[in-house]
């Protein structure tokens, strides 16, 4: 009689454990979906933010390049105009010299040519310095932006790692809770079954006498 009562109790406990397992698994599933949903929302917002920041940065760089190019072009036009005015001035002096002396002195012509060449060199140098300055500015800006973007990518990787750790913890806790409760039941059931089998064997031997 005691064996039957204990057997029924173990059977009932087994059903309860099955229901408990389903409940624990459902709770774990809810927690897992929450972690995954939170991570998905974070990634969506972060990726969108980084994309908008990158587009804005590239737009600023492009606008800055256009402004710099326009400034260089305007300055080059000013220098070219000044050179042409100086050339007219020299042409006028050389014409006067030719009218008065039949020919412009070699020293005068060479001096004028050297001065024009110097103006050309100055203009090229100023243009190169302006372009180099802009290139340096862009380089510094890109380095700073890339560093900032890298920090955000590191944040994304860290957040993924945390989510992965949380999921592992939830699954480990689930397995631990199920195993702890079911181990006791399995041990008790195995013990009951062993005793029951022995009793059955004894009964069989008694019946055959």
Whether 15 shows a pLDDT value over 80: the answer reads no
Provide the CA 80 distance to its chain's centre, in angstroms.
48
Confidence of residue 84 (pLDDT cuts 50, 70, 90): very high
What pLDDT, on the 0 to 100 scale, is given for residue 28? Answer: 87
Distance set, CA 124 to CA 45, 111, 137 (Å)? 48, 20, 20
Whether 143 shows a pLDDT value over 70: the answer reads yes
Confidence of residue 187 (pLDDT cuts 50, 70, 90): confident
What pLDDT, on the 0 to 100 scale, is given for residue 122? Answer: 95
- What whole-number distance in Å separates Cα of residue 104 and Cα of residue 110? 10
Nearby residues of 50 by Cβ (< 8 Å), 6 or more positions away = 149, 152, 153
Task: Output the average pLDDT for the chain.
Answer: 87
Confidence of residue 21 (pLDDT cuts 50, 70, 90): confident
List the one residue out of 77, 58, 59, 68 whose CA is nearest residue 129. 68
Confidence of residue 127 (pLDDT cuts 50, 70, 90): very high
Higher pLDDT, 172 or 14: 172
Enter the pTM of the model: 0.69
Q: Work out the average pLDDT over 134-149.
A: 96
Confidence of residue 59 (pLDDT cuts 50, 70, 90): very high
Whether 10 shows a pLDDT value over 70: the answer reads no
């Amino acid at each position: 009689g005691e064996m039957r009562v204990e057997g029924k109790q173990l059977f009932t406990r087994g059903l309860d454990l099955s229901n408990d397992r389903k409940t624990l698994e459902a709770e774990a599933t809810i927690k897992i979906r929450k972690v995954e949903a939170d991570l998905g929302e974070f990634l969506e917002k972060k990726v969108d933010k980084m994309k908008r920041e990158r587009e804005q940065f590239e737009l600023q760089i492009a606008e800055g390049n256009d402004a710099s190019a326009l400034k260089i072009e305007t300055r080059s036009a000013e220098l070219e105009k000044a050179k042409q005015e100086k050339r007219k001035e020299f042409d006028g002096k050389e014409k006067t010299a030719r009218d008065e002396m039949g020919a412009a002195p070699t020293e005068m012509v060479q001096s004028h040519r050297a001065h024009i060449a110097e103006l050309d060199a100055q203009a090229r140098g100023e243009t190169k310095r302006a372009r180099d300055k802009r290139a340096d500015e862009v380089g510094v800006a890109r380095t700073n932006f890339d560093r900032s973007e890298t920090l955000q990518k590191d944040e994304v990787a860290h957040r993924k790692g945390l989510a992965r750790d949380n999921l592992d913890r939830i699954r480990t806790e689930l397995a631990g809770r199920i195993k702890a409760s079911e181990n006791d039941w399995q041990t008790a059931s195995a013990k009951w079954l062993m005793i029951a089998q022995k009793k059955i064997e004894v009964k069989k031997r008694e019946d055959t006498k």
